[in-house]
Structure 1
Amino acid sequence: MTLITTPPWLGLPTHRAWLDDQINRLVRFVQGSRLEAGGFGYLLEDGTADLTRPRELYLNCRLTHVAALAYMRGIPGTAHLIDHGIAAITNDFHDRANGGWFSALEPAGGPIAGRKAAYDHAFVLLAGASATEAGRPGGRELFDSAVAVFLKHFWDEEAGMSRESFAWDFTDSEDYRGANSNMHLVEACLAAGDTSGDAVWYDRALSMADRLINHAARERNWFLPEHFDTQWNPRPEYNTDDRAHPFRPYGSTVGHWLEWSRLLVHIEASLASPPAWLREAATALFNHAITFGWSVDGHDGFVYTTDFEGAVVTDVRMHWALCEGIAAAALLGAVTGDALYEHWYRKLWDHAARYFVEQERGTWKHQLAADLSEAGSVWPGRPDAYHVLNALLLPQLPAAPGAATALARGLA
């Protein structure tokens, strides 16, 4: 297991006080997402929920996870948010007939026709682990149910990867495999390992990372393919007609290079005998994002996507990519001691504070155009607190165990 010492620039009391203040403001802002109909709604710019939009499973799970972390940091008024989230996931979203969870519900009604997706179920597993660590009623039961569904339907032991999606009755497995869903399942598996104490979950996380990063990304000079067939052969032309898709965009996604960089550090710190390629790939992906993603079109910020030669495909700037860059720089700085990461940590926070962070409310603009004016073509509103909390909280925590377990054990 990797020993990490907090570098002085991350331990500055004034900086940590600023991070904590922003966490408190963010938690106050997301209170407006709580719905009387159950669960959490899609937050708008003014901090109110859009009552016309579906209630989405992944957002409900993310906010339950955020509430659990806030509760374990001792922020009053957050216990009821965890319990509200657990109740919605357990009751409203749960498919009692077929198992698993519906991806979306009507604003005040039942399930919307769709598929049961690995992406959404990754966040059920994460929320269950975090709620368990917080000691909230129903948290352990949710976690155990999520584990059972994941292992029964999604986990492909032979491939060492997750399947993508199914019809409601878990038939009709989708003829597609995705890096995005497996990436989030890496995070969920690490959390499951921390909560359960079973190291096999860390091996599952390593297996997904090995195929996608140590092989697929490395073989393409770190331009990670996002889309695959059922045999895990890349599909480079997937969604060429929908290039700015919010979950499956065409090309290679810069923010995911940064998110994987962070996750590889977490995996390394979780394993008793981590392979050397984890550190190598983590630094390579971060450097790749700086080279091919930052300010490559003459404007500051990380572009959304590139092709596999490095040409920009979609030039909007996503807040979540910047959040993951900040967290990755913090972790890499802690494990390597390289001054490069302090430089980028400070640079990325300066950029965030100037263009993205709404400091009085603690929330972030979700998407900017190339000229750094606000845009909402892919992510309108302010629905995401999960990535913002990563940027604010992860620099204050060890790389392992994960955030919920670290807070539960008093390791902040």
Structure 2
Amino acid sequence: MRHRFSLFLVFGVVITGLAEWNLSRGRDGFAAGLDRSWLEFCVANARDKISDPQVTLVTVDDDYKPAIGETLSQADYAAVFGFVGKFQPKAVAFEPNPVFDESQPINQTTLELLKEASLPLPRLTLGAVAENGQSPQNPAEEPKFPALTKIEGDTSQVTPLTRVVAAPNPQLLANGTPAFTGIELGGDVGQGSRTLPLIARQGDKVVASFIVHALASYAGVPLDQVSVKLPGHIEIGERYRIPIDSRGRMRYFEHAGIGGGFYPSISAFQLALTGDEDETIKKLLVDLEDEFESLKSNLVVIGRDRTEDRRETLIGYDHPLSKADVLTRAIAIIQSGRYIDWWPLWARLLSIAIIAALAAHIFRGGRGRAFGWGILGAFLWFGIAMVAFKSTLAWAPPLAPLLLFALILIIGLVLPEPKNATSPAAAAAE
């Protein structure tokens, strides 16, 4: 028994260490695929708490080339509004703050291309970048965000904003309301943060973020009906309840299974092809029919996703994301209710210790006990993990437990039985 258990402990420590190292590195591969499969299995059994997101990201990416000149013009963005408008979306949020070369005739403000293109759409949520630093240097930097009125709790810890450093294009204000996409803290953009501000203080007012405003618009809830409890949650009607801390920030749940492909995403270039009569292009677009259909029913987020825009680094991702991608993933988390995280380290190690204690009991018997309890123990562990997930929305990465139970079976069946081992019949009787 001692020989078998000692061998289990040695290999068990190695397995646990490698599994935890792999989690910290966030690598793709077999372990990541196993994690995704187990998480989605858990989610499928918790549909009373988790649903599918209702958001579609339209990306202005590297494939979307300027029609005139070297940089995107007002006409290029106006065309994106036109492409989206064909699908009559319920709500649209526009994240970029493009700066145009006014020396080009196409960008002359007298043309009002953006205004004319946006008017047929539902009233837009317009992205703006704010700063918590110096006071406004000119009227254009004055924050003009609508206030939330149903506030409960101490707002003194909520992050203040003092000025706007990247405002929406003035033409879009004819059919849009600005909301902040981020708050730079004295010039620090907060790379690698695990939290996203959903509200901010503007003087003596509390204002909504781009995320909250877009969700309220999609749900048809006026901002004066959005309620905030600090610390606690933000309620957008009866549809969304978002957990926040005392500073009005939402945790970015990087282990919630929100990744590429979790929600529909279409590039502006692909949208531009929808009216093409070429049969080859039509065949290429057939695979995107579901994405196109989602534009009719989902919240549509239009965002820049060009190479130079991918600067947001988040824990859990091995590549930088664009701000539009980060915001859309946060919206998807809220809409789906995927406030999901891993078991904390102490809980994972405690579960490993319980498996080790079970192994000590198993190795006192013969091969029958090893086979029976090895299989039964694995089912029990994963069953308990499933119940815990449905209760807490916390999940345990399955690689280490799975390998440990496999190790129990291998050692128990291959190595010699202890001299005082119970017979298979006795083991079954136990």
Higher relative contact order, chain-length normalized (CA < 8 Å, sep 6+): 2
The structure carrying a bigger helix percent of its residues is 1
The structure carrying a bigger strand percent of its residues is 2
**What is the TM-score normalised by the length of structure 2?**
0.27
Name which one, 1 or 2, has greater alpha-carbon Rg: 2
**What is the TM-score normalised by the length of structure 1?**
0.27
